[in-house]
Structure 1
Amino acid sequence: MPSLTKKLTEYGFESNDDYEFQVRCLLETPTSGIRALNIEGDGERRKTAFANALARALDFPQILYHDFTDAHPPLPDVILPPSQDELGREEPPIEPFDRIVSEACAQSEGDPTVLILDQLQAADFREHIRLHRLIKDGFWEVRGGSYFANPNRLLIVLISEEPLYHALRQESFRLWIGRQSERQLVYHPADFGLGPDAQPVFDALTQLFESLGAAPTRREFTRLLDDLRLHVRTLEHLRLSLYGRLEVIEREALSDPRLRPAQNRILEAAQGWLVTEHIELSGDRSDPDPNQEQS
C-alpha cells in the first residue's frame, strides 16, 4: 500500500511532512457527531490543495466543494422552477451553500462523502452556528425541511483564513498546513542514483537552503539537479532555476548579496561535477581499433 504522503503527491499536494498520525486521529477516534477537520495554517491555497488531495487519497467516492468567496458558483445539475405559496408569491432560489450541504447529507446516506467548505471567513457568522449544529446533531434545515446525514459516512473539511467560531473549533480536529514543509530532509547522492562525486553539489545546496529557510521536496530537488546538469551555467541561470523549481523561495531573497558566496559555491561544485561526469563517460568508451585504417 502506498503511503499517505505518496498518495497526496499523486493527487497534487507535495510535502515532506507526514500526516498519517493526524488522519488516524481524525478518522479512527470514536465520536458522537459528524467528523470535522479544521485546516489552519499560512499555506493560503495549499490548504485547499491538501483538502482535495486528502479526499482523493482516502478514496471518497463523493467529494463536494464550496468556496464562500466564489461570486459565480457552479449551477446545480437540475434547476428546479421557482415555487409559489398559496398567495402566488414566489420563493427565492435556494442558496448555493444550503444546496451543497443538503446534497452532502443526502449523498452520505449511500456513499462516503467529503464536504469541503473553503474560505469560511467570508461566510455570515450565523452559518458557523448552523454548521456547529449540523456537526453536533447530524441534520441540516432548509426552509422547514430537514436533511439527515450519516455520521459514519460524512466528513466535513473547514478551511478559513481567520479563526472559526469557538464552538465549531471545539468540534473539529485541527491540522496545520504551512506555506512549506516543516520537515527538512537531508538528501544524499545515493538517493538519486548518483556517485560520491556529486556530494559537493549536495553540500552546497544544503547550505543555501538552510540560509533561505527552505525545505525542498524530493521532486523539487530532483528537477533542480536536472537543471544543474543540463542548463545552469551562470549565476543568473542558477537563480532562475531555484525560483522556477522551489515553490517557497521568494524572488527577492535570491538577489540578496549575502547569499552570493553560497550560490557561487553551488556553481563551482556543479561545474566540477560535470567535468568529472564527462571524464567518466569518456572513459567508458571503447578504444578504437588500432589496426583500423584512418580515412
Structure 2
Amino acid sequence: MSTLRESMAEHGFESNDDYAFQVRCLLKGTPHRIRTLNIQGDGERRKTAFATALAHALDTPHILYHDFSDEEPPTTEVILPPGTDEYGRKASAVDPLDDIVSQACALSEAESTVLILDQLQAADFREHIRVHRLIRDRRWLVRDAPYYANPRNLLLFLISEAPLYHSLQRESFRVWVGRVSERRVTLNPEELGLGVDAAPLLDALNDLFGAVDASPTRSEVARLLDDFTAHVQTEEHLIHAVFGRCEGIDRERMRDPDLVPMLSRVMEQLRDYLGIEQIVVGRGREDVESGSDGRGSNV
C-alpha cells in the first residue's frame, strides 16, 4: 500500500516531506464544522499542486476548484434560464463562487468532496466572512436559498498569498508548503537502483546539494543521473542539468566561484563512474553554439 507521500507524487506533487501527520489532524477535526485546511508557504503555485494532489490521494470522488484571481472564470456546468422577480425584473447570473460552493454542498450530501478555494487574497473581504459562515454553520446562501453541507464528507482547502481573515484562520488547520522540501534526503545507490560503485558520485552530489541548500527528491536525482550518463561532459553542462532537473535551485548560487571545487569533484566522480579517461572542460557555451556534444558528434 503506497504512503500518502507516494500517492501525492503520483498525482503531481513530489516532496521529501511527509504530510501524513497534518492530514490526520485535519481529518480528525471538529465533526460539527467543515474541516478546513489552510495551505501556507512560499511555494506559490506549488501550494495549488499540493491541494490538488492531496485531494486525489484521499480518493475523493468530487474535487471542485475556484480561483479568485481568475478574471474569466469557466462557464458554470448548469446554466439556468433567466428568471424574473415579483416585479418583473430580470435576475442576474449566478456568481461563479456561489455556483461552485453550492455544488460542493450538494455533492457532499452523498459523497466525499473537496472544495479548493485558491488565491483568497484576491477575494472581496465579504467573501472571507461568507466562507467563515460556511465552515461554522455548514450552510451557504445563494439569493436567500440555503445549501447545506455534510461536515462528514466536505473538506475545504484554502490558499492565500496574504493572511486570512482572523476568524477564518481560527477555524483552519495550517500546513506549510515550501518552494523546496524542508527535509533533505541523503542519496544512496540502493534507493536509486544503482551499484555500490555509484556511491562516490552520489557523495559528491550530496555535498553539492548541501552547499546550495537544495533538497532534491529521489525522482529528480534519478532523472539527473540519466542526464549525467547521456549528456553531461563539462561543469557548464552540470550546472544546466542540476538547474534543469531539480526544483528550487538558485542558478546564481550554482555559478559561485566557491562551488568550482565541488563541481569539479562531481565531474571527476562521474568520469570514474563511467570509466571515461578524460572529460573535456570549458566547452559548455561553444558546444551549444556549434551544435557539438563534445564527443565529436552533432546533437
Matched, 1:100 2:108: no
Q: Name 1:41's counterpart in structure 2.
A: 41
- Hey, what's the Cα distance between the residues in 2 that align with 1:173 and 1:29? 9
Q: Name 2:244's counterpart in structure 1.
A: 244
Q: Which structure 1 residue ranges, 5 or more long, are not aligned? A: 278-295
After superposition, the C-alpha distances for 1:74-117 in whole angstroms (9 at most, x for unaligned) are 11122112211232211211110111111111111111110000
- Hey, what's the Cα distance between the residues in 2 that align with 1:202 and 1:171? 45
Aligned length: 277
Q: Name 2:167's counterpart in structure 1.
A: 167
- Hey, what's the Cα distance between the residues in 1 that align with 2:87 and 2:16? 62
- Identity within the alignment, %: 58
Aligned ranges 1:202-221 → 2 under 5 Å: 202-221=202-221
Alignment check: 8 A CA contact 1:9 1:15 kept: yes
Aligned ranges 1:150-189 → 2 under 5 Å: 150-189=150-189
1:152/1:271 Cα in 2 relative to 1: closer, same or farther (>3 Å)? same
Runs of 4+ in 1 over 3 A off after TM superposition: none
| Shift in Å, 1:251 | 2.2
Per the alignment, in what secondary structure is the counterpart of residue 185 of structure 1?
coil
After superposition, the C-alpha distances for 1:120-177 in whole angstroms (9 at most, x for unaligned) are 0000111111111110111001111110111111000000001101111111110000
Q: Name 1:114's counterpart in structure 2.
A: 114
- Hey, what's the Cα distance between the residues in 2 that align with 1:29 and 1:86? 44
Matched, 1:123 2:101: no
| Shift in Å, 1:32 | 2.4
Q: Name 1:255's counterpart in structure 2.
A: 255
Per the alignment, in what secondary structure is the counterpart of residue 89 of structure 1?
coil
Matched, 1:139 2:136: no
Residue type of the alignment partner of 1:132 = H
Q: Name 2:193's counterpart in structure 1.
A: 193
Q: Name 1:71's counterpart in structure 2.
A: 71
- Hey, what's the Cα distance between the residues in 2 that align with 1:140 and 1:193? 52
Aligned ranges 1:81-100 → 2 under 5 Å: 81-100=81-100
Once the two structures are overlaid, the 10-residue window that deviates more, 253-262 or 19-28, is: 253-262
Q: Name 1:56's counterpart in structure 2.
A: 56
Alignment check: 8 A CA contact 2:212 2:250 kept: no
TM-score (structure 2 length as normaliser):
0.90
After superposition, the C-alpha distances for 1:2-27 in whole angstroms (9 at most, x for unaligned) are 10000000000000011111111110
TM-score (structure 1 length as normaliser):
0.91
Alignment check: 8 A CA contact 1:36 1:156 kept: yes
Alignment check: 8 A CA contact 1:106 1:148 kept: yes
Per the alignment, in what secondary structure is the counterpart of residue 12 of structure 1?
coil
Residue type of the alignment partner of 2:192 = F
Per the alignment, in what secondary structure is the counterpart of residue 174 of structure 1?
strand
Q: Which structure 2 residue ranges, 5 or more long, are not aligned? A: 278-299
Once the two structures are overlaid, the 10-residue window that deviates more, 77-86 or 236-245, is: 77-86
Residue type of the alignment partner of 1:90 = K
Residue type of the alignment partner of 1:241 = A
Q: CA RMSD in A?
A: 1.3
Per the alignment, in what secondary structure is the counterpart of residue 175 of structure 2?
strand
Once the two structures are overlaid, the 10-residue window that deviates more, 96-105 or 73-82, is: 73-82
- Hey, what's the Cα distance between the residues in 2 that align with 1:72 and 1:243? 34
Per the alignment, in what secondary structure is the counterpart of residue 38 of structure 2?
strand
Once the two structures are overlaid, the 10-residue window that deviates more, 61-70 or 219-228, is: 219-228
Alignment check: 8 A CA contact 1:197 1:276 kept: no
Per the alignment, in what secondary structure is the counterpart of residue 90 of structure 1?
coil
After superposition, the C-alpha distances for 1:40-67 in whole angstroms (9 at most, x for unaligned) are 0001011000100000000110100000
Alignment check: 8 A CA contact 2:31 2:152 kept: no
Once the two structures are overlaid, the 10-residue window that deviates more, 198-207 or 119-128, is: 198-207
